[in-house]
């Protein structure tokens, strides 16, 4: 198959003035790359006729396919449509249906559309209108460009409009024309408690086997105190791609300790924890020191968390650890606030006081100050207290274990890593996995 080169064109001064990063180019590139197409250029240019025409000409020299975002608004100086027409040797026509949709959209808000909106319905002759069900400005695709010019599509700038429009109107057409009908899917597996180098060791053989396979891809993405594994599968039909992705995913999961992969794609660790706890009818409380409310905040980010999450304490001072969670003053004096003993008493205290079935505690040294030789910055202790599932209610046997990590990094990453590990302890308990992390 010939290599198909793709260009992404973004218009708008906000990007060129550095007010925002170009996330449209990022999203489109991820989707098109996954289809096996080679995105070889991003260009951002001002939303002016001359600049847009110049950028299209430049991209057309190396790319067979160009997707543009932005520049379809109703303002007067917005001559992008005209520039596209000039580049493709055509002229504008009004799309009556697009205008009716805009009128209808404004009617819903109880107003008539301003006259300036009418320019939004101007579409190059010969182009296919991409009706906008998510906003005002329609896009268009030039499916039959003149010889020597790229296949071209224009989408509005707002991501909440251009993303669904890409999926509805462009993705399959692009696959058919440029990727031998081969669509692609991306799956991201999220890991916790395993380093990138340990993952690399375990997946080395698979990396080597995949090599340059055009149908499969695997890569690591680090960030946010965790490592993700990004899988790509490509193929001629959706069922085949799905099967191929599942096979690849299963092979990765066989090689990575299964308890280190907590979810995929948009699944967050906090959502997984809530789902698992809800399924078992178990309720959760959290006692935090160094994470300062981050664990609770992540859990309550999720709509509907209130049926699982009962209560949280941010016991930042020693005083609060004693008065609010019942940590004994003698424990703090003998072992310090960052210790297995304090973590255990915090977790037990949170369990008792909330009436929850599971409680997790975090106490550590996030830095930059407060470290010592014995207890360096990055040291975190976790307590996990729970009532045995067979004996529900306050009379159930309470168990408690403690764990330690030392994550050398900045304050923000230490806190983020610690909140991951605390949530992961609850996940491991909920599905009966070993609570200790595998040695990597």
Distance separating alpha carbons of residues 65 and 112, to the nearest angstrom = 37
262 within 8 A of 191, measured Cβ to Cβ: yes
Q: Does 326 bind a copy of itself (CB under 8 A)?
A: no
What order of strands is seen across the sheet that includes strand 183-191?
Answer: 216-223, 226-235, 183-191, 261-264
One character per residue 247-286, x = contact with a copy of itself (rule: CB under 8 A): ---------------------------------------x
- The length of the chain, given as a count of residues: 440
Binder of a copy of itself out of 306, 329, 372, 388 (CB under 8 A): 306
As measured in angstroms, the least distance from the Cβ of 98 to a copy of itself is: 28
Q: Does 303 bind a copy of itself (CB under 8 A)?
A: yes
Binder of a copy of itself out of 1, 3, 4, 45 (CB under 8 A): 45
As measured in angstroms, the least distance from the Cβ of 297 to a copy of itself is: 4
Interacting stretch for a copy of itself, rule CB under 8 A, among 133-141, 239-247, 301-309, 427-435? 301-309
Distance separating alpha carbons of residues 136 and 63, to the nearest angstrom = 29
Q: Does 357 bind a copy of itself (CB under 8 A)?
A: no
Binder of a copy of itself out of 87, 192, 218, 295 (CB under 8 A): 295
As measured in angstroms, the least distance from the Cβ of 434 to a copy of itself is: 28
For 392, phi then psi, to 5°, come to -75, 165
Q: Please provide the DSSP assignment of 55-96 as one string.
A: HHHHHHHH-SEEEEES--SS-TT--HHHHHHHHHT--EEE-H
Binder of a copy of itself out of 103, 149, 206, 311 (CB under 8 A): 311
As measured in angstroms, the least distance from the Cβ of 277 to a copy of itself is: 14
Q: How many CB atoms lie within 10 A of CB 148?
A: 7
Nearer to a copy of itself, 19 or 96 (CB): 19
Separation of CA 53 from chain center: 34
Q: Does 75 bind a copy of itself (CB under 8 A)?
A: no
Binder of a copy of itself out of 36, 124, 235, 367 (CB under 8 A): 367
Q: Does 18 bind a copy of itself (CB under 8 A)?
A: yes
- Say whether the peptide bond before residue 280 is cis (omega within 30 degrees of 0): no
Q: Does 316 bind a copy of itself (CB under 8 A)?
A: yes
Q: Does 200 bind a copy of itself (CB under 8 A)?
A: no
Q: Does 299 bind a copy of itself (CB under 8 A)?
A: yes
Q: Does 369 bind a copy of itself (CB under 8 A)?
A: yes
As measured in angstroms, the least distance from the Cβ of 91 to a copy of itself is: 26
Secondary structure (3-state) at 194: coil
User: End-to-end alpha-carbon separation of the chain, Å?
Assistant: 41
Nearer to a copy of itself, 55 or 425 (CB): 55
How would you classify the pairing of strands 284-288 and 358-364? parallel
Secondary structure (3-state) at 366: coil
Of 255, 24, 332, residue with least CA distance to 158: 24
Q: Does 376 bind a copy of itself (CB under 8 A)?
A: no
Distance separating alpha carbons of residues 326 and 329, to the nearest angstrom = 9
Distance separating alpha carbons of residues 36 and 179, to the nearest angstrom = 7
Q: Does 296 bind a copy of itself (CB under 8 A)?
A: yes
One character per residue 388-427, x = contact with a copy of itself (rule: CB under 8 A): -----------------------xx--x------------
Nearer to a copy of itself, 289 or 331 (CB): 289
Nearer to a copy of itself, 129 or 361 (CB): 361
Q: Please provide the DSSP assignment of 146-181 as one string.
A: PTTS-EEEEE-S-HHHHHHHIIIIIHHHHHHHHSTT
Q: Return the residues of window 95-124 that contact a copy of itself according to CB under 8 A.
A: none
As measured in angstroms, the least distance from the Cβ of 298 to a copy of itself is: 8
Burial bucket for residue 411 (CB in 10 Å: 0-12, 13-18, 19+): middle
As measured in angstroms, the least distance from the Cβ of 24 to a copy of itself is: 9
């Amino acid at each position: 198959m010939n290599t198909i080169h793709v260009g992404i064109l973004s218009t708008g001064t906000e990007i060129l003035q550095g007010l925002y990063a170009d996330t449209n180019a990022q999203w489109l590139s991820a989707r098109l790359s996954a289809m096996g197409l080679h995105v070889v250029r991003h260009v951002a240019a001002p939303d002016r006729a001359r600049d847009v025409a110049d950028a299209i000409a430049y991209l057309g020299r190396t790319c067979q396919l160009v997707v543009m975002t932005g520049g379809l608004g109703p303002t007067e100086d917005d001559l992008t449509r005209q520039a596209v027409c000039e580049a493709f040797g055509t002229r504008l026509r009004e799309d009556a249906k697009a205008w009716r949709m805009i009128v209808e959209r404004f009617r819903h808000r109880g107003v008539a559309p301003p006259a300036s909106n009418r320019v939004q319905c101007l579409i190059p002759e010969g182009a296919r209108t991409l009706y906008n069900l998510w906003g005002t400005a329609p896009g268009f695709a030039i499916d039959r460009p003149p010889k020597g010019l790229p296949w071209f599509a224009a989408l509005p700038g707002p991501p909440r409009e251009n993303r669904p429009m890409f999926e509805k109107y462009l993705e399959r057409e692009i696959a058919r024309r440029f990727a031998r009908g081969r669509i692609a899917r991306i799956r991201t597996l999220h890991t916790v408690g395993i380093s990138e180098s340990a993952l690399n060791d375990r997946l080395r053989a698979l990396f080597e086997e995949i090599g340059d396979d055009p149908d499969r891809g695997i890569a690591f993405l680090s960030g946010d105190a965790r490592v993700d594994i990004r899988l790509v599968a490509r193929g001629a039909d959706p069922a085949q791609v799905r099967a191929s992705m599942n096979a690849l995913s299963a092979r990765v999961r066989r090689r990575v300790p299964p308890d280190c992969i907590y979810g995929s794609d948009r699944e967050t660790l906090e959502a997984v924890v809530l789902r698992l706890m809800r399924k078992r009818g178990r309720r959760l409380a959290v006692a935090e020191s160094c994470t300062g409310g981050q664990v609770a905040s992540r859990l309550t980010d999720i709509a509907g968390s209130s049926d699982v999450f009962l209560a949280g304490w941010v016991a930042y001072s020693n005083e609060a650890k004693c008065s609010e969670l019942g940590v004994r003053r003698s424990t703090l004096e003998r072992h310090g606030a960052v210790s297995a003993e304090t973590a255990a008493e915090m977790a037990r205290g949170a369990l008792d006081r909330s009436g929850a079935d599971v409680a997790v505690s975090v106490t550590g040294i996030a830095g930059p100050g407060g470290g010592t030789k014995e207890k360096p910055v990055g040291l975190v202790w976790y307590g996990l207290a729970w009532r045995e599932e067979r004996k529900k209610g306050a009379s159930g046997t309470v168990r408690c274990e403690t764990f330690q990590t030392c994550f050398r990094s900045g304050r923000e990453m230490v806190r983020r890593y610690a909140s991951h590990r605390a949530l992961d302890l609850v996940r491991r308990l909920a599905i009966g996995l070993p609570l200790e992390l595998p040695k990597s």
